[in-house]
């Protein structure tokens, strides 16, 4: 019996050795470093899981929660405007609307229901703001959460798990953070995992790192947890600049005063176009509009509130404050301080200046006094008008007269609307033409100045006013003394006043539609009036005007209302050719390929 037992033990021992060797053989087939395994509950596995977590900070401007991401698409209402969020780019639209107003509370309402994704990729449908706030309260903000955002895995990655009852390791190819996170979530803490090395990681600055072992992976992930600003906050105006980046940004070019408020008093008139030159040694030189220079010092620091800039001058004392950098982009910086103090600076690099050419003025940097005097010099004709992204053709060719004492008239030669006007600065810090004509709502608006054209700022001949967010646009053409000294304009007027005219050709993008105007007689009269009769019966009345535009082109403004077929002729036409009994006009823009209109004398 004893001998029998010893033989059994011996056979068992041999079997265990063979089994152990077989298992060793199986482990070695995994890869060169595959004998390195880790437990699913180990510290290294937790670092991997934190790196693969879903980052919800990109939409903090909406949900104010870094551990939550709202799934596209969804709708929000901000400043009374509904915005559908379909992509990351749409989040910038919300920020731009917020930036339109520096003193508002940036109130945003999410239209529920929405679907959110948590850091572990769990999806939850929320029906109310209260449910969102309850989940958001569980987030850790300010970068203190566990997720690691400064480094990412480069996929695919191959992982192995081992079943103690099986002969083969289980191989899984991972292609995303979501797959990796869910893979680890499904493992028991004591389950063994192996990674097929080498793998690649990409750091926040684009640098790629190759990793060859578990120990190296743990070291790199742990170091990356504090390596960058994870931007886990809802300060959407900070633009993530650091000290070196801010200093380089502000010293790279000169900066001009665009708006200045001190103690809730608008002092832009006093300081507009003062130019600041920040040196990297802490010196700042200011040049006023007369070319005089004032020297001072500047310094900055970073606090919990953001970047703080301190200015100090002996004579320019209005600027002697510590200013919070509220917003900056490629071309401007906004500074705020308590008690209604605000500075808006616009970049003024030598190669960016275009205020003295025909290419226009960037963002409307023109003093209130200069723009006011320019508008009062002459009449201004409406060449284009768009309200809420809809063309308003009925006012084409109408004439503004900006008078003294803030009075303005808008007319067509017969009918006149009266109101008030003023040049100032809107809530977004942009030079703006304020028009109040209660009887003509299409122009009764605040019109931010977008571009000016002419030989110089003080010789402006064309103005473009635009509010992109609201879909408003108006182009005004300067007409002095009704072009009385222009012989070509006078000739066109004299010819058109000499009898009735018929449409000999109307070609709309290659389609001949002349027959639509058969039997119509066009009579062009004084005071910019045109009347269309059909078979000798009086019909539509409208406005016509001949003028020369900024580029020297002869323009024939024709306004016959919106109703077809005459509405198709309502355009600012270019005069191509004119004789005593024939005039050829063409029209083209970004949307219409080409239109031709020919009148011949009856």
pLDDT value at residue 211: 93
Same fold, 362-479 and 487-601: yes
pTM of the entire predicted model:
0.41
Average pLDDT over residues 395-419: 90
237-288 tens-digit pLDDT: 444 556 667 888 889 888 999 889 898 888 888 898 899 999 989 999 999 8
pLDDT value at residue 227: 66
Residues of the chain with pLDDT > 90: what percent? 35
304-313 tens-digit pLDDT: 667 889 999 9
32-53 tens-digit pLDDT: 444 578 898 899 999 999 999 9
Looking at the predicted structure, is the pLDDT value of residue 366 above 50?
yes
Looking at the predicted structure, is the pLDDT value of residue 205 above 70?
no
Query: Given pLDDT bands bounded at 50, 70 and 90, which one contains residue 16?
Result: very low
CA distance 392 to 63: 39
Looking at the predicted structure, is the pLDDT value of residue 355 above 50?
no
Average pLDDT over residues 196-203: 92
Which of 28, 44, 52 shows the shortest CA–CA distance to 174? 52
Average pLDDT over residues 124-134: 92
Spell out the domain ranges in the chain.
Answer: 1-30, 54-136, 243-351, 362-479, 487-601
Average pLDDT over residues 356-377: 64
Q: Which two tokens stand for residue 378?
A: 């002459």
216-229 tens-digit pLDDT: 999 999 888 766 65
Class for the domain spanning 487-601: mainly beta
SS3 of residue 491 by DSSP: helix
CA atoms within 13 A on the CB side of 348: 19
The CA-atom distances, in angstroms, between 33 and each of 10, 28, 98, 157, 215 are 34, 8, 53, 14, 12
**Higher local confidence (pLDDT), 535 or 397:** 397
Q: Where are the alpha helices (DSSP H) in 68-213?
A: 88-99, 129-136, 177-185
Query: Given pLDDT bands bounded at 50, 70 and 90, which one contains residue 137?
Result: confident
pLDDT value at residue 228: 62
Looking at the predicted structure, is the pLDDT value of residue 231 above 80?
no
Query: CATH 3.30.70.270: does it fit domain 243-351?
Result: no
pLDDT value at residue 154: 94
| Neighbouring-strand partners of residue 199 | 211
What CATH number does the domain located at 362-479 have? 2.40.128
Query: Given pLDDT bands bounded at 50, 70 and 90, which one contains residue 458?
Result: low
Average pLDDT over residues 134-156: 79
CA distance 530 to 556: 12
Average pLDDT over residues 95-105: 57
Residues of the chain with pLDDT > 70: what percent? 81
pLDDT value at residue 81: 73
Average pLDDT over residues 201-211: 83
Average pLDDT over residues 362-366: 49
Looking at the predicted structure, is the pLDDT value of residue 496 above 90?
yes
Q: Where are the alpha helices (DSSP H) in 196-342?
A: 214-224, 243-251, 268-271
Query: Given pLDDT bands bounded at 50, 70 and 90, which one contains residue 454?
Result: low
Query: Given pLDDT bands bounded at 50, 70 and 90, which one contains residue 159?
Result: very high
pLDDT, mean over the chain: 81
pLDDT value at residue 434: 93
For 186, the enclosing helix (H) or strand (E) is none
Looking at the predicted structure, is the pLDDT value of residue 140 above 90?
no
CB atoms within 10 A of CB 303: 9
């Amino acid at each position: 019996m004893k001998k029998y037992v010893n033989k059994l033990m011996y056979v068992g021992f041999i079997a265990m050795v063979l089994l152990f060797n077989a298992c060793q053989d199986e482990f070695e087939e995994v890869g060169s470093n595959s004998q390195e395994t880790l437990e699913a509950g180990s510290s290294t596995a937790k670092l991997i899981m934190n790196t693969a977590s879903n980052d919800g900070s990109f939409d903090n401007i909406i949900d104010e929660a870094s551990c939550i991401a709202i799934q596209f698409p969804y709708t929000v209402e901000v400043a009374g405007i509904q915005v559908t969020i379909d992509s990351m780019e749409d989040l910038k639209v919300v920020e731009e609307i917020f930036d339109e107003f520096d003193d508002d509370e940036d109130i945003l309402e999410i239209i529920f229901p929405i679907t959110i994704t948590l850091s572990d990729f769990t999806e939850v449908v929320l029906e109310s703001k209260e449910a969102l706030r309850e989940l958001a309260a569980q987030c850790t903000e300010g970068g203190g959460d566990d997720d690691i955002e400064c480094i990412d895995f480069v996929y695919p990655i191959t992982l192995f798990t081992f079943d103690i009852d099986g002969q083969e390791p289980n191989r899984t190819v991972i292609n995303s953070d979501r797959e990796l996170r869910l893979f680890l979530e499904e493992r028991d803490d004591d389950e063994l995992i192996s990674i097929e090395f080498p793998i690649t990681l990409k750091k926040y600055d684009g640098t790629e790192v190759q990793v060859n072992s578990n120990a190296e992976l743990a070291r790199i992930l742990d170091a990356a947890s504090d390596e960058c600003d994870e931007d886990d906050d809802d300060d959407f105006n900070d633009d993530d600049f650091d000290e070196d980046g801010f200093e380089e940004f502000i010293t790279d070019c000169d900066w001009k005063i665009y708006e200045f408020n001190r103690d809730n008093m608008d002092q832009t008139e006093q300081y507009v176009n003062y130019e600041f030159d920040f040196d990297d040694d802490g010196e700042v030189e200011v040049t006023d509009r007369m070319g005089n220079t004032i020297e001072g010092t500047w310094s900055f620091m970073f606090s919990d509130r953001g970047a703080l800039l301190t200015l100090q001058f002996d004579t320019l004392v209005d600027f002697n404050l510590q200013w919070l950098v509220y917003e900056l982009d490629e071309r401007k910086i906004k500074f705020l301080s308590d008690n209604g103090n605000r500075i808006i600076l616009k970049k003024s690099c030598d190669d960016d200046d275009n205020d003295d050419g025909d290419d226009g003025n960037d963002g409307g940097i023109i003093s209130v006094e200069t723009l006011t005097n320019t508008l009062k010099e002459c009449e201004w004709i409406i060449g284009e008008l768009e309200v809420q992204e809809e063309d308003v053709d009925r006012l084409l060719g109408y004439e503004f007269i900006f008078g003294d004492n803030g009075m303005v008239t808008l007319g067509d030669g017969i009918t006149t609307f009266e109101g008030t006007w003023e040049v100032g600065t809107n809530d977004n810090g942009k030079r703006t033409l304020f028009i109040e004509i209660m009887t003509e709502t299409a122009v009764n608006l605040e019109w931010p100045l977008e571009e000016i054209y002419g030989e110089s700022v003080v010789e402006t001949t064309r103005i473009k006013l635009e509010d992109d967010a609201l879909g408003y646009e108006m182009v005004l053409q300067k007409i002095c003394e009704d072009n009385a000294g222009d012989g070509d304009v006078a000739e066109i007027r004299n010819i058109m006043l000499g009898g009735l005219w018929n449409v000999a050709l109307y070609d709309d993008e290659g389609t001949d539609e002349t027959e639509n105007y058969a039997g119509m007689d066009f009579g062009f009269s004084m005071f910019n009036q045109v009347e269309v009769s059909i078979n000798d019966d009086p019909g539509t009345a409208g406005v016509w005007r001949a003028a020369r535009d900024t580029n020297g082109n002869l323009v024939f403004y024709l306004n016959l209302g919106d109703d077809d077929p005459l509405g198709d002729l309502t355009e600012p036409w270019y005069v191509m050719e004119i004789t005593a009994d024939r005039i050829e006009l063409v029209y083209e823009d970004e949307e219409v390929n080409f239109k031709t209109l020919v009148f011949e004398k009856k």
